[in-house]
Amino acid sequence: MAEIEHHLTEPLLAAYAAGNLPQAYELVVAAHVSLCVECRARLGAHENAGGAVLETLPGAALSAGLRDRVMAALDAPPPAAAAVPRRSGIFPAPVMAALKGQPPRWKTLGGGVRQQILQADAEGSARLLYIPPGVAVPDHGHGGLELTLVLQGAFSDKTGGFGTGDVEIAGPELEHQPVADIGPPCICLAATDAPLRFHALIPRLLQPFFRI
């Protein structure tokens, strides 16, 4: 894998360490951290800082009932361990967990572009995108924050180029039309907390069906 050039921001890493990110963003952060030594080290620093803060907080007395339940749980036999998905091909372990250990089940969006929605709730959605080489996704803006992690291939837009392991952070101020580079198909993991703003009529009409 080529050297990663586009990393996560400190606020994203801090929110992830504190458990304050929506699930869709958590998936992208976890996948990127599994690929990026630099961000993994920075995340460790945030986790250590959080642990140090917890050590300064005053303790709380446990009720007798809670103490008994904790001791009973410690004496109980451990549950059977569930299989933990591991990295498979281009997909990091967090993505394989979201895929439940299975290959993607792509749905066609048009123009050779495909997707699989991995997670969706009121806070946002995460999806895998498959973009053939040389193909552009429709020109669009963002209603909120979009995180896009490249898992295979590369794409370019007016902000620059993004290769395997890179993450693009796009806010409401960015209007762009990413184009997959020539080479292997570009496969990305993308998370959003609001619908995209497509400029062309057909993508806008199809948007409710594709849940983008």
* Domain segments of the chain as ranges: 1-212
pLDDT of residue 54: 45
Structure tokens at 131: 């973009």
Closest CA to 169 of 193, 204, 138: 193
pLDDT of residue 64: 60
Alpha carbon distance 48, 55 (integer Å): 11
Structure tokens at 166: 């890179």
pTM of the model: 0.81
Domain topology for 1-212 = Jelly Rolls (2.60.120)
Alpha carbon distance 73, 10 (integer Å): 37
pLDDT of residue 194: 86
Residue for token digits 């996560």? 8
Q: Are 191 and 24 in contact (CB under 8 A)?
A: yes
What are the 10-residue block averages of pLDDT along the chain, 212 residues in total?
90 97 97 97 91 51 56 56 72 97 94 94 94 94 94 97 97 94 98 84 68 72
